[in-house]
């Protein structure tokens, strides 16, 4: 039975690297994969999933208005798809998460989603919230804080280097983010005791 999977983590945990390795494993066995990433990254990588260690692959760019079930069904009809991979899954809409669940349930194609759980304010992203609610399998990919503890939070720095406490949920520039444990995130955000 095909399933909907969600692997989540803070920034720089290696989610994209894991996705690219898994897709490579399918292709190495003669299977076809379909890769998606958010169109929010189009200006940076122009339709590619890339990891910090230099591995990259071409990917389809999804937008909030795209019907991912219809997209995958069209591709599958043209040539069999063995697995669907979604990077930056936090940017999926609730409807798109359900569309991907239908890909697993009705087209019998496994769907593996990778993304952040929470934003810099500690709030769930829409796509992540829905994936946490309905995915068949959840997996936390771990990374560490500067103190060595498990990092589960993402902090965004403003132009002065201080912790941003407000602003738009999405800021595409990756180098303004740092992964922290909850204690250090709370301290940086000024929420500590």
Length of the chain: 193
Q: Is residue 178 part of a domain?
A: no
User: Which has more confidence, 139 or 50?
Assistant: 139
Q: In angstroms, rounded to a whole number, what is the distance separating the alpha carbons of residues 39 and 48?
A: 10
Q: Is residue 73 part of a domain?
A: yes
Q: Is residue 193 part of a domain?
A: no
- In this prediction, residue 43 carries a pLDDT of 55
Q: In angstroms, rounded to a whole number, what is the distance separating the alpha carbons of residues 73 and 140?
A: 29
Percent of the chain at pLDDT exceeding 90: 58
Domain count, the chain: 1
Residue 171 annotated in active site:
no
Q: Is residue 60 part of a domain?
A: yes
Q: In angstroms, rounded to a whole number, what is the distance separating the alpha carbons of residues 118 and 113?
A: 15
Q: Is residue 155 part of a domain?
A: no
Q: Is residue 180 part of a domain?
A: no
Q: In angstroms, rounded to a whole number, what is the distance separating the alpha carbons of residues 36 and 86?
A: 5
Q: In angstroms, rounded to a whole number, what is the distance separating the alpha carbons of residues 101 and 86?
A: 12
Q: In angstroms, rounded to a whole number, what is the distance separating the alpha carbons of residues 95 and 101?
A: 10
- Catalytic, out of 88, 126, 130, 188: 88
Tens digits of residue pLDDT in 79-137: 999 999 999 999 999 999 999 999 999 999 999 999 999 988 889 999 999 999 999 99
Residues of the domain holding 24? 4-142
Q: Is residue 18 part of a domain?
A: yes
Query: Tokens 């958010």 appear where?
Result: 38
Q: Is residue 77 part of a domain?
A: yes
Q: For the domain that residue 55 is a member of, what is the CATH number?
A: 3.40.50.300
Tens digits of residue pLDDT in 34-63: 999 999 866 555 788 878 888 888 899 999
- In this prediction, residue 180 carries a pLDDT of 86
């Amino acid at each position: 039975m095909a399933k909907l999977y969600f692997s989540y983590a803070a920034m720089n945990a290696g989610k994209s690297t894991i996705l690219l390795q898994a897709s490579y494993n399918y292709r190495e066995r003669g299977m076809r994969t379909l890769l998606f990433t958010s169109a929010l990254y189009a200006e940076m990588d122009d339709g590619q999933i890339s990891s910090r260690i230099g591995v990259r692959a071409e990917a389809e760019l999804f937008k909030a208005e795209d019907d991912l079930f219809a997209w995958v069904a069209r591709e599958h009809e043209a040539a069999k798809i063995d697995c669907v991979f979604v990077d930056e899954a936090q940017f999926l809409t609730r409807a798109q998460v359900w569309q991907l669940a239908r890909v697993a349930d009705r087209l019998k194609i496994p769907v593996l989603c990778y993304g952040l759980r929470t934003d810099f304010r500690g709030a769930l992203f829409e796509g992540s919230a829905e994936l946490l609610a309905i995915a068949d399998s959840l997996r936390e990919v771990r990374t560490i804080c500067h103190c060595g503890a498990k990092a589960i939070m993402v902090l965004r720095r403003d132009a002065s280097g201080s912790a941003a406490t407000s602003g738009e949920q999405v800021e595409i520039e990756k180098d303004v983010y740092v992964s922290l444990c909850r204690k250090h995130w709370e301290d940086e955000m000024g929420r500590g005791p």
